[in-house]
Amino acid sequence: DAKTTQPPSMDCAEGRAANLPCNHSTISGNEYVYWYRQIHSQGPQYIIHGLKNNETNEMASLIITEDRKSSTLILPHATLRDTAVYYCIAYLYNNNDMRFGAGTRLTVKP
Amino acid sequence: KAGVTQTPRYLIKTRGQQVTLSCSPISGHRSVSWYQQTPGQGLQFLFEYFSETQRNKGNFPGRFSGRQFSNSRSEMNVSTLELGDSALYLCASSIQNTGELFFGEGSRLTVL
């Protein structure tokens, strides 16, 4: 399985874009990049996923580099409620085995 | 649409006892995964079930077991509890093989 590496923590000002990086230099061609977040004391919440192309939904945007060795999750206008641990995961579809790493603790400050 | 339901939400046990946790997935979801979360180890994968069959298993001792019923509800059991088993146990359900997991609120186990 490809491993991902993320910075342990980041800060972001409220209302600004939060850009969370993820390195997955050993990802295989058929592994997707998934992002989840976990707000304190709650179960993780799915955010977005992608394979090669950039993706956007109502929560965030996912930018994957052309060589697929890294990606960035973008929260366009961070709010205090976006304070959470964000997990980047390389996932093989027919494995159904989602493994979470340490993630990035994002703190949005007023 | 009801979410993933886990029971009980909180429980306290003593060392050596056993515990059974229950998970009711979202209607129509046939895959159920279990995770253990502790401050020191983070979110660790326990096992995943689909159609009553365990398809994947994490690196946990045999004291941790699970099963899935024909209605997709799942239970996990921990026997001979140890202090280190104190954790938040999370269950997640999904439609087959999608990576979009829906998590319950968890069962917080304290072992004294």
Cα-based distances in Å from A3 to A10, A15, A61, A64, A109: 20, 31, 21, 16, 30
A93 band by pLDDT with thresholds 50, 70 and 90 = confident
Residue A33: what pLDDT?
95
Neighbour tally for B106: CB within 10 Å:
23
Task: Calculate what percentage of chain B has a pLDDT beyond 70.
Answer: 99
Q: Which residues pair with B78 in a beta bridge?
A: B19, B64
Per-residue model confidence as pLDDT tens digits over B12-57: 999 999 999 999 999 999 999 999 999 888 899 999 999 999 998 9
Both structure tokens of A65: 């580099």
What is the chain A residue with the closest CA to B4? A43
d(CA A43, CA A63): 25
A46 neighbors A57 (Cβ within 8 angstroms):
no
Rounded to 5°, the CA angle B92-B95-B98 comes to: 90
B45 touches chain A (CB under 8 A): yes
Nearest chain A Cα distance for residue B46, angstroms: 10
Partner residue facing B33 (CB), from A45, A98, A102:
A98
Nearest chain A Cα distance for residue B25, angstroms: 14
Per-residue model confidence as pLDDT tens digits over B96-108: 777 899 999 999 9
